[in-house]
Structure 1
């Protein structure tokens, strides 16, 4: 009898584990499980349950880096690193740079690698010009024209986007349907999230054609519209080095491993809890802080403002969690009169 009871308990346990393993990442049960497993952050619904999961996986557009070419590395001195505050939000230090508040939307395109780059570039032109220059770098130009970066909407390498900025230059361009700049983003935002006014997301779209001319209403020629980097570089690994770079020069681009629980993030300090690996994603880190004893990076995503905490999220800091501190890339703008 005892043996039968033991077998029954083991069978029940096996069925429970199997049921958990089969939870769909967009199900209410998956969200509930994440919230029961930890109290650092809160999970919730960001994506409709009927959205094709291939779309979500396609948003993770950083290609595995098999090219180990040399890239300059920036190292900050001990004095600067020792003087950094416990919390830092660049929007307080540089209030005349509104792009620090902006959350863009990559649409149905695996262009995160380009978005993380042009977002940080946009911030840095403003920061390094003391708030006097506002140049909105075009994600469209990078995604469609940087052939060495990868495969456009089907993935790319962040460091190659920064090298493209230095060697070829990038024109201006606003968000979809903005008519802003030389090459605005042409990919329609879709309803990544809960039901709303945008069309529903489906498969990842084809990469837009590279057009080396500005839209008719822009009064600058394509080549003359370009802005360049003075130099681009990686940040020496370690949270103090990254913090020093953020504090001195502004936001950076980071790549990291994404697991299924991240797509449910609402607020708090994210730490991977449960779920399958989905791919590599690129984002813009803007600052850092501490919340309820947990150290975090303050991060801007590119999935519109109705994902996460108005498009931003906090990510566990100081442990190279999901390799987020391993490959930080950025650069210094070559300022010109705009």
Structure 2
């Protein structure tokens, strides 16, 4: 379906969310590229068991790290461009938020190198991104340098051997909605995976629900909040501020596999490296 056919189908379905006026929505098609294989599948069963046994604490009905204690702890929206590097952007977004939260300063200026994380994990720009555990393990075992030491470009780059600045202490696969909510409210933004359908390319605001178009692939984003009253997640995307709500989007619980079919990942920051 082309953009106009998708728009017509969304309007006919009465989706309840806004269509964008941005005319280049088809450009977002090249930004969908997450691969889920045997390593991810291996984590799902034990993560599911842990979720079944999880007893959720009392949590606020609404939570948003963009508006918490008078600050925005999430940092600027990035643009991955035509490179299929979404998982690297989602992980660095969660790490940057964790660094700000640990420092107690929401105004900390910081950008980690998505290029270091992506190309260091043997990613290629012209194929689907490596599995989530590969990116997370790279951030844990090696760490990530600053963007100023290895700037990101949406093309194939030779990896640079740059000393890392931050590492993960560990990460955990999350399988249930209560686990995800607790991780966000108690610790910080998390990494999530979802299906992308053609109608998401023309999403311009509101609570997204898939109504039209084919599946284009899988994508990774950073969940920064939730709303239990109106039943949606708040996600930071890596498609620039032109898409969605200034680069963010709200997605209904249970949509696009984000709750039941695909894992999310909580991170715990390690010590800052010299």
TM-score (norm 1): 0.71
Give me the whole-angstrom Cα distance separating, in 2, the residues matched to 1:95 and 1:61: 35
Q: Residue 194 of structure 2 corresponds to which residue in structure 1?
A: 256
- State the match for 1:137 in structure 2: 112
In structure 2, how many angstroms separate the alpha carbons of the residues matched to 1:211 and 1:239? Answer: 38
| Contact 2:237–2:248, Cα closer than 8 Å, also in 1 | yes
How far 1:153 sits from its partner (Å)?
Answer: 4.7
Runs of 4+ in 1 over 6 A off after TM superposition: none
Where does residue 130 of structure 2 map in the other structure? 156
Pair 1:323–1:39, CA change in 2 (3 A): closer
- When the two structures are aligned, how many residues end up with a matched partner? 265
Alignment of 1:36 onto 2:22 = no
Q: Deviation of residue 92 (structure 1)?
A: 2.6
Greater gyration radius: 1
Aligned with 1:91: secondary structure? coil
Distance 2:185 2:126 in 1: 32
- Tell me the distance in 1 between the aligned counterparts of 2:270 and 2:76: 22
In the TM superposition, 1:19-34 aligns within 5 A as 24-27=1-4, 29-34=5-10
Partner of 1:296: 232
Give the equivalent residue in structure 2 for 1:308. 244
* Distance change (3 Å), C-alpha of 1:229 and 1:239: same
SS class of match (2:268)? strand
Matched, 1:336 2:242: no
Residue 96 of structure 1 deviates from its aligned partner by: 5.0
CA distance in 2, matches of 1:314, 1:66: 30
Pairing 1:322–2:261 present: no
Distance 2:249 2:126 in 1: 23
Please provide the CA RMSD for this pair. 2.5
The whole-number CA distance in structure 1 between the counterparts of 2:232 and 2:117 is 30
Distance 1:141 1:247 in 2: 29
CA deviation vs aligned residue, 1:148-199 (integer Å, no higher than 9, x gap): xx434522222221111111111111xxxxxxx3212133xxxxxxxxxxxx
1:238 alignment partner in structure 2 = 176
1:80-99 matches, cutoff 5 A? 81-93=56-68, 95-96=70-71, 98=73
With normalisation by structure 2, the TM-score equals 0.87
Instruction: Could you tell me which runs of 5 or more consecutive residues in structure 2 were left unpaired when the two chains were aligned.
Output: none
Residue of structure 2 equivalent to 1:112: 86
